[in-house]
Structure 1
């Protein structure tokens, strides 16, 4: 099987791994935000914006690297797709933090923590996987695990929305629902990354 690409050129993979790590760090910041009083939201929201900015800077670095490097570890279109999904994931995570801060949403329902747990696991798996994209034989299990986590996230989202509808008045429901939607969309971006990896595995087989 043609599964080993260009191990001598790993800069692009290191950048992808660093972008995934910003998602891990962003999850930790959002965990803190969920447990904080509204008076502490500002600094934590700013910390999340810094994670988002760091991811954006890494995306620019990757684009520069792809333009200037003769040999890339993956086809340019695959590198770009992975980086785009990673950056969109951290943007949505930052969006959840911004919604919580703007609407001063204290006492977020526990289902949000359940979703963050899924995102954290997806991101941790992705950090490791991005660094191993030059040895695709090891990545099929990553693909399967992230897809399973994504299915769990979709179920949790449906339960989350149902509980919000049952337990909250319309205005509160809309505010919490916006956060719930942001979080499930992060898990969908992580699923897109895993799907892209699966596509690369198939193409390089």
Structure 2
């Protein structure tokens, strides 16, 4: 029998799960931007921006839920920290899409695709983990895999920036570097989510 940390039915956990799912949808929109023509950037970026707005609304809903619930499945500070990190990851993904649209970049490095692959996997694992926050047995592998992916993202970012510096003039380099920085920051926030979940596992074990 699996050890249950928290009640299975809980508004707070459902809101965290919904926020993580918005991130999964946002990554799919970003994938669409990578394959789109510049004339379609604005529309696709706006669609991602709307997903970011929904994630923000869910974050505020969670804050309201914590204030009005007598018993929460996690300490309030843990619920808030995870929700804030998910919200920040979504904001940075949205920022990357906005920059691509503003700069009208037409040739992103293959490193961008590699980084998006990492983010996609991180987002999917995080969404699954948020649905399983009431079970110790299902979260340790998530924690470890997110950390592994984050290290891969850091290496990809270093190679990406090095190649940009070698291949582009300063203005073009700066624009592409802005995108690279936004995307690696998404991976860092998702790593922080996993690290926080790991701290909960240690605390509750």
Q: TM-score, normalised by structure 1?
A: 0.96
* Residue aligning to 2:130: 130
* Residue aligning to 1:156: 156
Once residues 9 and 17 of structure 2 are traced to their aligned partners in structure 1, the CA distance between those partners, rounded to angstroms, is 14
* Residue aligning to 1:34: 34
Q: Deviations over 1:60-117 (max 9, x none)?
A: 1111111111111111100000000000000000000011111111111111111111
Secondary structure at the counterpart of residue 137 of structure 1: coil
Indicate if the aligned counterparts of 1:9 and 1:72 stay in contact, CA closer than 8 A. no
Indicate if the aligned counterparts of 2:8 and 2:134 stay in contact, CA closer than 8 A. no
Give the ranges of 4+ consecutive aligned residues of structure 1 lying more than 2 Å apart after TM superposition: 3-6
- How many residues of Structure 1 are paired with residues of Structure 2 in the alignment? 203
Indicate if the aligned counterparts of 1:9 and 1:71 stay in contact, CA closer than 8 A. no
Q: TM-score, normalised by structure 2?
A: 0.96
* Residue aligning to 2:195: 195
Once residues 195 and 87 of structure 1 are traced to their aligned partners in structure 2, the CA distance between those partners, rounded to angstroms, is 16
User: Structure 2: where are the runs of 5+ without partners?
Assistant: none
Indicate if the aligned counterparts of 2:92 and 2:182 stay in contact, CA closer than 8 A. yes
* Residue aligning to 2:89: 89
* Residue aligning to 2:19: 19
Once residues 146 and 65 of structure 2 are traced to their aligned partners in structure 1, the CA distance between those partners, rounded to angstroms, is 28
How has the CA–CA distance of structure 1 residues 8 and 41 changed in structure 2, closer, same or farther, with 3 Å as cutoff?
Answer: closer
User: Structure 1: where are the runs of 5+ without partners?
Assistant: none
Once residues 36 and 169 of structure 1 are traced to their aligned partners in structure 2, the CA distance between those partners, rounded to angstroms, is 24
* Residue aligning to 2:111: 111
Q: Deviations over 1:9-30 (max 9, x none)?
A: 4211111111111111111111
How much does 1:188 deviate?
Answer: 0.2
